[in-house]
A and B are shown apart, each in its own frame.
Chain A
Amino acid sequence: MEIGLIVLAIMLATLLGWLLRQSFNAQPWIAEPVEESASQAPFNARPKLVALTAFLAVATSFFALILSAYSLRMELGDWIPLTEPQLLWFNTAVLVLASVAFQWTRNVAVSGRASQIKPGLLLTGILTSAFLVGQLIAWQQLNASGQYITSNPSNAFFFLLTGVHGLHILGGMYVWARATVRAFGGRDAAAVSHSVELCTIYWHFLLLVWLIIFGLILST
């Protein structure tokens, strides 16, 4: 449980530190005109960004707990390290490219070059889909070589981790699809740009999660 605990401690410490900073010098019993107290509010109104950040905290907790379970289960006697399909290296590269492509699309969107958003979005979609297909093929390769999910706990964790990671990506693809449809409909450029910005953060997050998962699987 150490991994889960450390990750959680960092997230909580960040939050609590922020909350304490908000509240430390406050003298709430003093009534003040609105203007002065309004200037104490340090946030910008970006509810979607805040909600995404909160969701990333939830997802971090989720993955960290699975990895905690992984490290606890690994110490038991029947653990046989997984022989990773070489395809995973290719998949990782594709996911990195997808992240880079999204970052490029975001930069384009922010700087207002709207015409380049569409190819950017398409490219990210293709790369991300390729990653998902690649993961499915990796599953099949494992199954074909007789490495089923039930064969060994290391296999079970591999299928579980790649499965839930893939599901998170699919969730992101839903937002990507909505943004893409909007972009091609030519409506609401601001909304498209905002979606792309948020998606970029989410893609980087999932790339990071995948790199940690992959690193852990390789090293154990």
Chain B
Amino acid sequence: MGYVAIADRDHEIEHHDPQTFITKYVWSQDHKVIAIQYAGTAIFVGVIALILSAMMRLQLGFPDQFSFINPENYYQFITMHGMIMVIYLLTALFLGGFGNYLIPLMCGSRDMVFPYMNMLSYWVYLLSVIILLISFFVPGGSTGAGWTLYPPQAIMPGTPGVDWGIILMLASLAVFIVAFTMGGLNYVTTVLQARCRGMTLMRMPLSVWGIFMATILGLLAFPALLVSAIMMLLDKTIMTSFFMPAISSMGVDSGHTGGSPILFQHLFWFFGHPEVYIVALPAFGIVSDLLSTHARKNIFGYRMMVWALIAIGGLSFIVWAHHMYVSGMNPYFGFFFATTTLIIAVPTAIKVYNWVLTLWEGNIHLRVPMLFAIAFIFTFIHGGLTGLFLGNVTIDLPLSDTYFVVAHFHMVMGVSPILVVFGAIYHWWPKITGKMYNETLGKWHFWMTFLGTYSIYLPMHYLGFAGVPRRYFAMGNTEFMPESAQDLNAWITMSALFVAATQVLFFINVIWSLTRGPKADPNPWDATTLEWQTPDTPPKHGNWGHDLPECHRWAYDYSVPGYEDDFIPQNVAADVAPAGRDHGGAH
């Protein structure tokens, strides 16, 4: 049995307690420190990407008012904003950050199975970030090819950053994938091998399920990005013709022959679509736990939630070409991909219903994490519904190159996951730091962010319907657009600047909490999951003191009838407390 061997490792691990400052906080092999390193780095680059988006909005809202934004810069801002947000912020934060922190604690293990490789994963990730940041400062600047990096334009003269920017971008992606693979193997193996006694797969909190499935998707999908990055690097540096057709630019023959740009699109989206779910599944899992905990009710339909995660993960690999309707394809393929895309709405809708039904007759505490979790349901339904529009070929074709798509994907995989990120940070902050944050400041942060983002993206749908094209630096003399479209753009820009500025509240709260925050209760939310039952807050190296916890029940025994507290932690024995029932045991 697996448990014996893990228990055998106890003495070994205790001897490995880090002694010096360097091994404790810098070259640390402790999953909690690595998680904070990952999260800190990801949030740092995320702030850079946020500033880039503010610069883009300045140009769109007030065209040609700012001399430091020219078309080249604008495309570089777009590209780096997209790439950083999707990969270096969200993927790294959800899996490297929350994955690292939560998997061992929620599964009741002392650390990741391979702590050294875990440490290496962070430092290689940092290297990829450094390469990415260097690309801002090389001659020609970073690449402006758009985050999808489509050839041939990504490596053709005329695209910003064609000399060095694109090479560094591709190199950085390759390095990131190496880092992710090292981390991902760790997460999967830890979930499969290092759970504490009694923690069956079906007793794992949904956060772990979401992160676990997302990691599997990442491990299988990132190779597609790696393959396309390697091939494009070869096309760029030694003039192979994987993707590059024979092309002549400004009278100069590029030297390529017969390559297929569509091939790149297939490879890219074979990664790119699962990537959406690599970001979404951890958010789904975490939000389930936040809702259940703060509504004091068991999650509605736990098994269905797990199966929905699994189904979404599987389906996400056969929908990629819905990103390529405008590239042209056999109508039967279009039909196939439209069908699979719409089918994915079924498990997703199951999840949404279950979240809402979890709230039904719950004892809802509108604390900051709960506000963010409920807001996620709104933004996610919103973004999901516009996805139904875009999944259909005939509707996608006219809308694909408009702001409708920008609004759609920002609602569904920009705003929604970020709301969960904030909710999760507020939720686990007391455990991570041992300090409480300022509730009032947190609520201000929430309301301004939530209403502000709606004020940005709701009007964008209208712009899209009006036919305002995305990706354009300036609209020029486009007569079909009403004057009011420009007024709307100015409004969106002001909202965006407002939302960006309000994020300062979050950082003020962080600093306030770290310096003057009151000491946190070990389990301030009366939560059932194991990470709240650690002997120390924040948990020390090894997490559990001398004895590993034992798991006796699932993570959702809230408001069980006949028990004095309204929650029963997972490590409370079965004969001490009764168990809840499925579906509405809270009555």
A29 close to B579 (CB less than 8 A): yes
User: Assuming the A-B contacts A45-B6, A47-B113, A76-B258, are A55 and B574 also in contact, with contact meaning beta carbons closer than 8 angstroms in the complex?
Assistant: no
User: Assuming the A-B contacts A33-B575, A160-B231, A160-B234, are A28 and B216 also in contact, with contact meaning beta carbons closer than 8 angstroms in the complex?
Assistant: no
User: Assuming the A-B contacts A16-B310, A31-B578, A33-B552, are A47 and B181 also in contact, with contact meaning beta carbons closer than 8 angstroms in the complex?
Assistant: no
Give the CA-CA distance A115 to B266 in the complex, in Å: 52
Q: Is A144 an interface residue (CB 8 A)?
A: no
Nearest chain A residue, comparing its CB with the CB of B321? A1
**Contact flags A3-23 to B (C-beta < 8 A → 1, else 0):** 011001101100110011011
Q: Is B307 an interface residue (CB 8 A)?
A: yes
**Contact flags B205-241 to A (C-beta < 8 A → 1, else 0):** 0000000000010011111101100110010001111
Determine the chain A residues whose CB is within 8 A of the CB of B181 once the complex forms.
55, 58
A40 close to B554 (CB less than 8 A): no
Give the CA-CA distance A62 to B188 in the complex, in Å: 18
Of the residues B185, B202, B240, B257, contact of A22 by C-beta under 8 Å: B202
**Contact flags B487-515 to A (C-beta < 8 A → 1, else 0):** 00000000000000000000000000000
Of the residues B200, B263, B552, B556, contact of A29 by C-beta under 8 Å: B556
Of the residues B201, B227, B552, contact of A69 by C-beta under 8 Å: B227
User: Assuming the A-B contacts A31-B574, A34-B197, are A160 and B230 also in contact, with contact meaning beta carbons closer than 8 angstroms in the complex?
Assistant: yes
Which residues of A21-76 are within 8 A (CB) of B? 22-23, 26-34, 37-38, 40-41, 43-47, 50-51, 54-55, 57-59, 61-62, 65-66, 68-69, 72-73, 76
Looking at the assembled complex, report how far the CB atom of A150 sits from the nearest CB atom of chain B, in whole angstroms: 5
Q: Is A188 an interface residue (CB 8 A)?
A: no
A150 close to B267 (CB less than 8 A): no
Looking at the assembled complex, report how far the CB atom of A190 sits from the nearest CB atom of chain B, in whole angstroms: 13
Q: Is A100 an interface residue (CB 8 A)?
A: no
Nearest chain A residue, comparing its CB with the CB of B241? A153
B318 close to A5 (CB less than 8 A): yes
Nearest chain B residue, comparing its CB with the CB of A15? B216
B189 close to A45 (CB less than 8 A): no
Determine the chain A residues whose CB is within 8 A of the CB of B579 once the complex forms.
29-31
B550 close to A34 (CB less than 8 A): yes
Surface stretch bound by A, among B123-131, B298-306, B353-361, B367-375: B298-306
Q: Is B270 an interface residue (CB 8 A)?
A: yes
Looking at the assembled complex, report how far the CB atom of B200 sits from the nearest CB atom of chain A, in whole angstroms: 5
Q: Is A156 an interface residue (CB 8 A)?
A: yes
Q: Is A209 an interface residue (CB 8 A)?
A: no
User: Assuming the A-B contacts A31-B578, A47-B193, A69-B242, are A156 and B234 also in contact, with contact meaning beta carbons closer than 8 angstroms in the complex?
Assistant: yes
User: Assuming the A-B contacts A29-B554, A58-B181, A72-B260, are A156 and B220 also in contact, with contact meaning beta carbons closer than 8 angstroms in the complex?
Assistant: no
Give the CA-CA distance A12 to B227 in the complex, in Å: 20
Determine the chain A residues whose CB is within 8 A of the CB of B193 once the complex forms.
43, 45-47, 50
Looking at the assembled complex, report how far the CB atom of B252 sits from the nearest CB atom of chain A, in whole angstroms: 17
Looking at the assembled complex, report how far the CB atom of A68 sits from the nearest CB atom of chain B, in whole angstroms: 8
Looking at the assembled complex, report how far the CB atom of A172 sits from the nearest CB atom of chain B, in whole angstroms: 16
B310 close to A20 (CB less than 8 A): yes
Looking at the assembled complex, report how far the CB atom of A187 sits from the nearest CB atom of chain B, in whole angstroms: 16
A28 close to B303 (CB less than 8 A): yes
Give the CA-CA distance A32 to B197 in the complex, in Å: 12
The SS class assigned to the A binding surface is helix
Determine the chain B residues whose CB is within 8 A of the CB of A160 once the complex forms.
230-231, 234
A28 close to B227 (CB less than 8 A): no
Give the CA-CA distance A31 to B318 in the complex, in Å: 38
Q: Is A149 an interface residue (CB 8 A)?
A: yes
**Contact flags B551-567 to A (C-beta < 8 A → 1, else 0):** 11110110000000000
Which residues of B1-44 are within 8 A (CB) of A? 1-6
Determine the chain B residues whose CB is within 8 A of the CB of A46 once the complex forms.
193
Determine the chain A residues whose CB is within 8 A of the CB of B113 once the complex forms.
47, 51
Give the CA-CA distance A58 to B225 in the complex, in Å: 12
Determine the chain B residues whose CB is within 8 A of the CB of A5 once the complex forms.
317-318
Of the residues B194, B241, B263, contact of A72 by C-beta under 8 Å: B263
Give the CA-CA distance A164 to B174 in the complex, in Å: 13
Give the CA-CA distance A4 to B221 in the complex, in Å: 11
A47 close to B194 (CB less than 8 A): yes
Interface core residue of A8, A16, A31 (most chain B CB under 10 Å): A31
Which residues of B156-204 are within 8 A (CB) of A? 181, 184-186, 188-189, 192-195, 197-198, 200-203
A62 close to B227 (CB less than 8 A): yes
Give the CA-CA distance A1 to B302 in the complex, in Å: 35
Determine the chain B residues whose CB is within 8 A of the CB of A47 once the complex forms.
113-114, 189, 193-194
**Contact flags A80-115 to B (C-beta < 8 A → 1, else 0):** 000000000000000000000000000000000000
**Contact flags B62-88 to A (C-beta < 8 A → 1, else 0):** 000000000000000000000000000
Nearest chain A residue, comparing its CB with the CB of B216? A15
Interface core residue of A11, A57, A69, A160 (most chain B CB under 10 Å): A69
Q: Is B577 an interface residue (CB 8 A)?
A: yes
Determine the chain B residues whose CB is within 8 A of the CB of A8 once the complex forms.
220, 317
Determine the chain A residues whose CB is within 8 A of the CB of B195 once the complex forms.
41
Give the CA-CA distance A50 to B318 in the complex, in Å: 26
Give the CA-CA distance A188 to B181 in the complex, in Å: 28
Q: Is B391 an interface residue (CB 8 A)?
A: no
B585 close to A29 (CB less than 8 A): yes
Of the residues B221, B240, B553, contact of A31 by C-beta under 8 Å: B553
Give the CA-CA distance A48 to B232 in the complex, in Å: 34
**Contact flags A114-146 to B (C-beta < 8 A → 1, else 0):** 000000000000000000000000000000000
Looking at the assembled complex, report how far the CB atom of B325 sits from the nearest CB atom of chain A, in whole angstroms: 16
A61 close to B223 (CB less than 8 A): yes
Determine the chain A residues whose CB is within 8 A of the CB of B216 once the complex forms.
15
B582 close to A29 (CB less than 8 A): yes
A sample of 12 cross-chain residue pairs with beta-carbon separation below 8 angstroms, ordered by A number, consists of: A12-B314, A28-B303, A29-B556, A37-B552, A38-B198, A43-B192, A44-B1, A50-B188, A58-B222, A59-B223, A62-B223, A72-B263
Give 4 nearest A-B pairs by CB, closest first. A78-B258, A45-B5, A31-B579, A45-B2
